[in-house]
Amino acid sequence: MHKTKAEILTIGDEILYGHILDTNSQWISTELDNIGIKVVRKTTIGDKREELLSAFHDAEQRADVVLITGGLGPTNDDLTKPCLAEYFNCEIKMHEQALLEVSEFFKSKGRELTEVNRLQAALPECCTMLSNKIGTAPGMWFERNGKVFVSMPGIPREMQLMMTKEVIPRIKNVFSTDIIYHKIIKTIGIGESWLADMIKGWEATLPPHIGLAYLPSLGQVKLRLTAVGEDQEQLVDEVEEKITSLKPLIGKYIYGYNRDQIEAVVGKMLAGQEKTLAIAESCTGGYLSHMITSVAGSSAYYRGSVIPYHNDHKIDLLGVKENTLKENGAVSEQTVIEMSNRVREKFNADIGVATSGVAGPGGGTPEKPVGTVWIAYADGNDTVAKKLQLWKDREINIKASAIAVLNLIRISLLKTIEIKN
């Protein structure tokens, strides 16, 4: 069976020069991976005719599907459309349906269609138009000698909608795709090397067609199992069986699978146990609240936050005792415990959590260097506080602290379930 191969071609000087970060090709890879298509190469080139034509040519030699993003803007520096017309040897003409759609798009925004945007509806005759419901540049689908070229806008949300609605269904139609089954096991609160040590015996039992990869990120390690074969159901069963035998070893560190996000998992636990949450964050400065509220529907369990960045407001707004701050400082077990209890009361919530630390780069002392962070959890019965010794980087310290608090909530809610059982 021939395995369908894909290449991704990202076009734009702004990516080449490093002015913007290309997130599109990662997103596209994941989508193709889900339908069993392997990306064999990603290439970024600039807005230059010869570069585009030679990249088209090279990609066609290696791959069955070539997915192109970028270079579809209305201005003269955007060359993807004319180069594709040249490569596929056909004329660019006004496309009636595309014109209708771009006109409607402008109408819906209450704006006049400009001449420049009208020209975006002109397309190479030999392509199939791909609708862009949320932007002005339509996509293009070319087929020749069993090879497919797809051109999409570079704006992530436009590309993503087009990919989901128009491109993936067409690709599935044209190519019979091979089976690759991935499952990602998400762990939190344990380092990569400790994890590796705990599961090395289990790892040795994996058959050759199931691969394991460690993917560490801030405070988390993802374990990716990749099974390759011909029978989807059999692959799924084999992988699930392996996960079942993994759970007794590291179960308490596993918070979810695949696209599960720790903030959504914690939200689901709160909603399931009908508990409400309030947050007092100092060094995390709003990031923890942002993680919680980035989840749609979080208003069901999240009551609100106080961010008493200035110490005065830890006292006057939150109700931490002046003495506690004086005797122990803001970055201390005592202060963070009081913060978690007081915020719980203020918002009349079941659970209160709090952060206080030295995010950096300034503010460190020999006793409390940059990266010293206290976090706490309080639910009326239990109060738990934990000291984190993090890094020198402000952004990393903020994010790692917020993730550690989410894990603290998760562990406490797990205990509640255990007690109930």
For residue 102, give both structure tokens.
Answer: 């771009």
Q: Which amino acid is at 333?
A: E
Cα–Cα distance, 226 to 216 (Å, whole number): 17
- Rounded to whole angstroms, the maximal C-alpha distance in the chain is 80
Which has the closest alpha carbon to 138: 174, 113, 166, 170? Answer: 166
Smallest separation, CB 127 to a second copy (Å): 25
CB 272, min distance to a second copy, A: 19
CB of residue 110 to a second copy, shortest distance in Å? 10
Among 3, 35, 51, 174, binds a second copy (CB under 8 A): 51
For the CB of residue 157, give the shortest distance to a second copy in the complex, in Å. Answer: 7
Q: Write down the least CB distance from residue 257 to a second copy, Å.
A: 13
Element (H, E) at 5: strand 5-11
CA distances (Å), 224 to each of 39, 62, 239, in order? 17, 27, 11
Backbone angles phi, psi at 376, to 5 degrees: -145, 155
Token code pair at residue 32 = 């193709």
Query: Site for a second copy (CB under 8 A): which residue of 4, 11, 28, 341?
Result: 28
In this complex, which beta carbon is closest to a second copy, that of residue 290 or of residue 321? 290
Query: Contacting a second copy (CB under 8 A), which of 118, 170, 182, 368?
Result: 182
d(CA 343, CA 353): 8
CB of 139 to a second copy, least distance (A): 18
362 binds a second copy (CB under 8 A): yes
**Rule CB under 8 A: which of 369-388 touch a second copy?**
none
Interface region with a second copy, contact rule CB under 8 A, candidates 13-21, 321-329, 377-385, 409-417: 13-21
Contact segment (CB under 8 A) with a second copy among 23-31, 166-174, 243-251, 372-380 equals: 23-31
Stretch that binds a second copy, among 37-45, 233-241, 371-379, 405-413 (CB under 8 A): 37-45
Q: How many residues bind a second copy (CB under 8 A)?
A: 93
Q: Do 280 and 353 touch, CB atoms closer than 8 A? A: yes
Please tell me whether residue 265 binds a second copy under the rule CB under 8 A: no
Distance, CA of 297 to CA of 268 (rounded, Å): 10
Q: Which residues contact 381 (CB under 8 A, 6 or more apart)?
A: none
> Judged by CB, which is closer to a second copy: 169, or 361?
361
* 275 contacts a second copy (rule: CB under 8 A): no
Select from 13, 86, 101, 345 the one that contacts a second copy (CB under 8 A): 13
**E strand segments, 119-189:** 122-124, 128-130, 139-144, 147-152, 179-188
**Interface residue with a second copy, options 3, 147, 222, 252 (CB under 8 A):** 222
By the 8 A CB rule, do 312 and 330 touch?
no
Among 19, 201, 208, 420, binds a second copy (CB under 8 A): 19
Q: Does 261 bind a second copy (CB under 8 A)?
A: no
Sign of torsion, CA 235 8 100 102?
A: positive
The residue from 119, 179, 184, 384 that contacts a second copy (CB under 8 A) is 184
Give, as ranges, the residues between 283 and 342 that touch a second copy (CB under 8 A): 285-294, 296-299, 302-310, 312-313, 317
Q: Name the β-bridge partners of 325.
A: none
CB nearer to a second copy: pick between 82 and 285: 285
**Site pattern 102..121 for a second copy (x: CB under 8 A):** ------------x-xx----
Which one of residues 169, 395, 415, 417 is an interface residue with a second copy (CB under 8 A)? 395
Provide the terminal-to-terminal Cα distance of the chain, rounded to the nearest Å: 51
Q: According to CB under 8 A, which one of 97, 128, 193, 205 is a site residue for a second copy?
A: 193
Dihedral, CA of residue 49, residue 51, residue 57 and residue 62, to nearest 10: -150
Could you say whether residue 75 binds a second copy (CB under 8 A)? yes
Please identify which residue in the block is written with the tokens 């738990």: 384
Nearest residue (CB) to a second copy, 50 versus 418? 50
352: β partners: 278, 378
Of the candidates 127, 56, 118, the one whose C-alpha atom is nearest the C-alpha of residue 91 is 127
Pick from 2, 1, 4: nearest CA to 173: 4
Give the shortest CB-360-to-a second copy separation in angstroms.
7
Residue type present at position 219: G
